[in-house]
Amino acid sequence: MKANMGSADRIIRVLVALAVITLVATGTLSGIWSVVGLVLAGVFLLTSLVRFCPLYLPFGIRTNRVRKSA
């Protein structure tokens, strides 16, 4: 697994995950939507932690800088 997420992408995912967790904690999201939101938040946090998003592979997306070796 090569990292394919840049720091801006990771920060945005963490912020979205924290926002969803806050919405669930305050009761704004409830029922099935709270479960879906928490699963999505968990996936966002996990992918941010490992710097790899499997959904980027089929589309060839890379948000990190590729360093060229000298």
Residue 13 lies in a domain: yes
Residue 56's Cβ-side half-sphere holds a number of Cα atoms within 13 Å equal to 15
Residue 21 lies in a domain: yes
Q: What percent of the chain has pLDDT over 90?
A: 83
Residue 35 lies in a domain: yes
Residue 22 lies in a domain: yes
Tell me: the pLDDT tens digits for 38-67? 999 999 999 999 999 999 999 999 999 877
Looking at the predicted structure, is the pLDDT value of residue 34 above 90?
Answer: yes
Residue 58 lies in a domain: no
Say what the pLDDT of residue 2 is: 87
Looking at the predicted structure, is the pLDDT value of residue 68 above 80?
Answer: no
Residue 38 lies in a domain: yes
Which pTM does this prediction carry?
0.86
Domain range for 17 is: 7-50
- Total number of domains constituting the chain: 1
Enumerate residues 6+ apart whose C-beta is below 8 A from 59. none
